[in-house]
C-alpha cells in the first residue's frame, strides 16, 4: 500500500483523495488520512449485503436511498466545500433522504443513517473517532453492527446534539425503527451467513 505524499501543512483534503490510486481505499478525518485496506472479510460482506438488501427493498418507491461502500461521504467543516473538504469517509452503509446531497461518488453533508460493521482493524475507529464525527456532523442515526458478538447497537442524536444509545438488539430481536415506518429487520437474518 502506498502512503499519500506528505504535505507541508500536513492536512489532506478531498482534492488529494481524488488523486490517490483507485485500487486502494482511504478515508480522511479532519485532514488525516487512514488506510481502509485490505478488503473486509467475506462474513463482513455477507452481513453488509443482507442489511443493504433489506433497506433497498424497503426504500423502493420512497424518497430515501441506501448505499453500500464504497460510497464517499464528504463532511464539510467550517468554511469548507467541494474539493477542499478535509473529511471524507466510506461507511459500510448510508441512507440519504435528501437527494440534493448526492453528487459524484457519494454525498456531501450528513447522511440520515450511517451503519458501520465492526472488524478487528476498524472497531476502535468506528466506536470512537467515527462515532464522534457522525455525532458532531449531525448524522441522526448511527448503527454499529458487532459481527463477532452478533448484535446491533443503535445510537440516536438527541436534542443536545449528542448520541444516546436507543437500544442493543440481539439474535431473536426485531428492529423496528420509528423513523422508517413499517420497516422491520430480524437481527437473526442479518447474521445468517454460515
**Pair 100, 130: CB distance under 8 Å:** no
**Pair 155, 115: CB distance under 8 Å:** no
Cell numbers 449531525 correspond to what residue?
Answer: 138
Cα 124 from Cα 145, distance rounded (Å): 13
Could you tell me the pLDDT band of residue 1, with boundaries at 50, 70 and 90? very low
Residues 6 or more apart from 77 whose CB is under 8 A from it?
30, 85, 86, 87
pLDDT digit string, tens, across residues 67-91: 999 999 999 998 888 899 999 999 9
C-alpha cell, 130? 467515527
pLDDT (0 to 100) of residue 3: 55
Sketch the domain layout of the chain as residue ranges.
Answer: 40-190
pTM of the shown model: 0.91
**Pair 103, 83: CB distance under 8 Å:** no
Average pLDDT for the chain: 92
Cα 98 from Cα 118, distance rounded (Å): 27
Residues in the chain: 194
Beta strands 72-74; 65-68: pairing state: unpaired
| pLDDT beyond 60 at 2 | no
Mean pLDDT, residues 111-136: 94
Which has more pLDDT, 30 or 2? Answer: 30
Looking at the domain that runs over 40-190, which CATH code has it been given?
3.90.1570.10
Mean pLDDT, residues 7-23: 80
Amino acid at each position: 500500500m502506498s502512503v499519500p505524499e506528505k504535505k507541508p501543512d500536513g492536512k489532506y483534503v478531498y482534492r488529494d483523495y481524488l488523486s490517490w490510486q483507485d485500487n486502494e481505499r482511504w478515508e480522511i478525518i479532519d485532514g488525516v488520512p487512514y488506510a481502509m485496506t485490505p478488503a473486509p472479510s467475506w462474513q463482513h460482506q455477507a452481513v453488509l449485503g443482507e442489511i443493504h438488501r433489506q433497506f433497498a427493498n424497503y426504500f423502493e418507491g420512497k424518497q430515501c436511498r441506501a448505499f453500500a461502500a464504497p460510497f464517499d461521504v464528504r463532511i464539510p467543516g467550517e468554511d469548507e466545500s467541494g474539493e477542499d473538504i478535509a473529511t471524507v469517509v466510506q461507511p459500510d452503509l448510508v441512507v440519504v433522504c435528501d437527494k440534493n446531497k448526492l453528487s459524484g461518488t457519494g454525498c456531501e453533508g450528513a447522511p440520515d443513517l450511517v451503519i458501520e460493521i465492526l472488524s478487528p482493524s476498524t472497531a476502535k475507529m468506528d466506536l470512537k473517532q467515527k462515532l464522534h464525527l457522525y455525532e458532531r456532523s449531525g448524522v441522526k442515526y448511527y448503527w454499529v453492527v458487532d459481527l463477532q458478538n452478533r448484535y446491533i447497537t443503535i445510537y440516536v442524536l438527541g436534542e443536545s446534539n449528542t448520541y444516546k444509545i436507543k437500544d442493543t438488539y440481539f439474535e431473536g430481536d426485531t428492529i423496528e425503527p420509528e423513523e422508517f415506518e413499517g420497516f422491520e429487520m430480524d437481527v437473526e437474518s442479518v447474521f445468517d451467513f454460515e
